[in-house]
Structure 1
Amino acid sequence: MAKKSFFSFAREQWTKVPPVVHVDLKGKTVVVVGANTGLGFEAAQHFARMGAGRLVLACRSQEKGETAIERLKQETGYSEAELWLVDLADFASVRAFVDKALEDLERLDILVLNAAAAIRSDGSFVATKDGWETSIQVNDLSSPLLALLLLPRVLETAKQHGTIPRIVIVSSEVHYWTKLEDKVLDSPNAFEVLGSKEYCTPRIMKVRYFDSKLLNVFFTRALSNRIKDRPAIVNTVNPGLCYSELRRNMTSLASRLFEFVFARTAEQGSRQLIWAAVGTPKGDEGALDNLKGAYISLADIHLPSDFVLGEEGKKREDKLWDDLISTLEKVDPRIRDVVAQHLATP
């Protein structure tokens, strides 16, 4: 099912990463979720150097967030960054963040959904306070919840300012190396199965991160396909294997050796996030349309896994979309209004 071999992975990891794209962000509002360290912090630095009108660092920890704000100021000279707290493992926290954003942000030009939950090295099941397996809630429920609830502000920005805002969802090339089981896709609700303790055996948890990134790709395509008149860009990006706190639980010698041989720096990986947020594909102005729903790697558009493509891939996409919306409507009823007012069946 994978279209990417280990050798192609290695070749890409050793490929020189293109320089960071630089545009003028004066007057524009950028929100980076998961911004206190690693890819998110490096991306925030790049946005700061582009002179973002408002730059919101959305972090889980007050202490780590304040440290990131101070470090950002020291390293870029940018003193306007704002720290907003959000914990994607807590739906109440996500709703509160959205409430604050809708009240306080007059526009939203770039939303980078970078936060992700790592899997424990022993493959154990860890539930959130809301009762979901942590990585499913963080990576595949709360991130879409943020994207959907903030979508009206993104679309208002496009209309009022004549711009093309972007929502960037950080995924990974590991999505090529997995597929969802039939019993998940044939169930009444795939997310309820994926997030349950009964399903999350050690065997399943070994590929859980892969599965969560595959779900990111499906969500990106589904949302992009459903935005009426498509005035905004929703895409997903592969930063590649990078040195990151996301891998802090991977302490084995083999894991560390693999990282030493193949990993990029977080700054190199962040360049991919920046390209997804402000870059333009080669070609004329109309090339921007090619970014809608795109999977991006090494500053270029790539085909995602075969599991996502074709008629069968579209059926899976529609099934997962319906199950996701059904789930999120229970978390926040505003999802119904967003779907009804801003989205259409493709």
Structure 2
Amino acid sequence: MRRKVLDFVRNQLATQPPVVKVDLTGKTAIVLGANTGLGFEAAKHFATMNPGRLILACRNQTKGQAAVNNIKTTTGYTRAELQILDLANFGSVKKFADNFERDGERVDILVANAATLMDKYEPTEDGWETAFQVSCLSTPLVALVLLPAMMRTAREHSTFPRLVVVSSEVHYWASIEKAVRENPDMLKTLGSAEYCTPTKMMSRYVLVKLLNIFFVRALNAHLPPGSPLIVNAVNPGFCYSELTRGLTGVAAAFDRLMAWIFAYSTEVGSRHLVWASVASPDALRGAYINACEVTEPSDFVVSAEGEKIQDRLWDELVDILGKVDPRVTAAVEQYLSPSSK
């Protein structure tokens, strides 16, 4: 499918549907990056559905606790809790996963919303470009280390857990150049200092959102037939948020202009995250969701070349993350199967 600028304009100017409501009594919902923006608004919506447990995973203690307090005040829900998670640090992700191993609690909804938008190269302590590690490595790491908890939840409670990865329609304008595709280590290349020149960083956001789509489709392809886990990617639309706070200069000015003309609120955008998390699961396996509808992703993603790239990215990702945390390798071996394609 091709996405034109006019399609973007129509989508942004269209009236968005109200948030869908379901009963989450007894269930656990986790929202990454929940102290602000889309994540915070989605968490507020979940709070009105009476989940047994609502976890706001945030990297900042003060801002995260303020979000928890805000939810209690505005919704009356008293079981929201903060857990610290810094996706720019693999050690923080591992500690986050340790908590779930210790308490053995259920995981019904995992909304992988956290992201960062940067226009210059900044490495993490782990040696990767920051936006790349947050969106393309640590987000899958959280999903895979929590995979056993989601599968256990499905088995013990006869439910269909959801993994919702927040992507974007900008993936329609992204590709991976031939020189990188010919490299046996695509992910290592894309996250390296040598690759992340100022020119490449200008298109970093569209690239990581493309890789989000590939991850969702690859994970779904490796789930065995009849798996209870529903995994999908969702486009929240172009919203006012703090995501672009890392932009500077001309890029920041252009973003402000676009937001003034086209953006809708993060509350409106969060409705799409909630829909992907609770709507009827029949058609949502491995789906890309736009405007609360299943939509075909880009031509590049669904092409024969895209499928080959997807398989290679998956193999490299599992190898990289398995070295970060052996629980990834164990989860893949126990719960996933060779690609069903």
What TM-score do the two structures reach when normalised by structure 1?
0.95
Asked whether 1:267 is paired with 2:267, we answer yes
Asked whether 1:329 is paired with 2:322, we answer yes
CA distance in structure 2 between the partners assigned to 1:255 and 1:191 by the alignment: 28
Which of residues 325, 338, 341 is equivalent to 1:345?
A: 338
What residue is the counterpart of 1:144 in the other structure? 140
Aligned length in residues = 335
Q: Determine if contact 2:169/2:237 at 8 Å carries over to the other structure.
A: yes
How many percent of aligned residue pairs carry the same amino acid? 52
Deviation, structure 1 residue 250: 3.9
Structure 1 residues 128 and 151: CA distance shift in structure 2, 3 A:
same
SS at match of 1:164: coil
Asked whether 1:22 is paired with 2:15, we answer no
SS at match of 2:267: helix
AA matched with 1:277 = S
Which of residues 188, 196, 214 is equivalent to 1:218?
A: 214
AA matched with 1:203 = T
AA matched with 1:342 = Y
Deviation, structure 1 residue 254: 3.1
Deviation, structure 1 residue 248: 1.8
The runs of at least 4 consecutive aligned structure 1 residues that moved more than 2 Å come to 249-255
What residue is the counterpart of 1:114 in the other structure? 113
Which of residues 291, 301, 313 is equivalent to 1:320?
A: 313
CA distance in structure 1 between the partners assigned to 2:189 and 2:168 by the alignment: 22
AA matched with 2:287 = A
AA matched with 1:205 = M
Asked whether 1:244 is paired with 2:237, we answer no
CA RMSD of aligned residues (A): 1.1
What residue is the counterpart of 1:285 in the other structure? none
Q: Determine if contact 1:227/1:344 at 8 Å carries over to the other structure.
A: yes
What residue is the counterpart of 2:288 in the other structure? 295
Asked whether 1:276 is paired with 2:276, we answer yes
CA distance in structure 2 between the partners assigned to 1:104 and 1:10 by the alignment: 46
What residue is the counterpart of 2:303 in the other structure? 310
What residue is the counterpart of 1:97 in the other structure? 96
What residue is the counterpart of 1:125 in the other structure? 121
AA matched with 1:271 = R
Deviation, structure 1 residue 160: 1.2
Q: Determine if contact 1:185/1:319 at 8 Å carries over to the other structure.
A: no
SS at match of 2:264: coil
Q: Determine if contact 1:250/1:256 at 8 Å carries over to the other structure.
A: no
Per-residue CA deviations over 1:203-232 (Å, capped at 9, x if unaligned) read: 111111100000000000000111123211
Q: Determine if contact 2:237/2:269 at 8 Å carries over to the other structure.
A: yes
What residue is the counterpart of 1:156 in the other structure? 152
CA distance in structure 2 between the partners assigned to 1:147 and 1:91 by the alignment: 13
AA matched with 2:38 = L
What residue is the counterpart of 1:188 in the other structure? 184
SS at match of 1:237: strand
Asked whether 1:134 is paired with 2:130, we answer yes
AA matched with 1:20 = V
SS at match of 1:248: helix
Which deviates the most, 250-259 or 231-240?
250-259
CA distance in structure 1 between the partners assigned to 2:173 and 2:305 by the alignment: 17
Deviation, structure 1 residue 105: 4.4
What residue is the counterpart of 1:47 in the other structure? 46
AA matched with 1:68 = A
CA distance in structure 2 between the partners assigned to 1:329 and 1:105 by the alignment: 22
CA distance in structure 1 between the partners assigned to 2:50 and 2:175 by the alignment: 41
Q: Determine if contact 1:191/1:323 at 8 Å carries over to the other structure.
A: yes
CA distance in structure 1 between the partners assigned to 2:331 and 2:185 by the alignment: 21
Q: Determine if contact 2:117/2:247 at 8 Å carries over to the other structure.
A: no
Per-residue CA deviations over 1:148-185 (Å, capped at 9, x if unaligned) read: 11011101111111111100000000000110112222
Per-residue CA deviations over 1:237-279 (Å, capped at 9, x if unaligned) read: 0000100010123464432121111101000000000000001
CA distance in structure 1 between the partners assigned to 2:129 and 2:246 by the alignment: 17
Q: Determine if contact 1:56/1:81 at 8 Å carries over to the other structure.
A: yes
SS at match of 1:124: coil
Structure 1 residues 105 and 46: CA distance shift in structure 2, 3 A:
farther
Which deviates the most, 22-31 or 103-112?
103-112
Which deviates the most, 228-237 or 297-306?
228-237
CA distance in structure 2 between the partners assigned to 1:104 and 1:13 by the alignment: 42
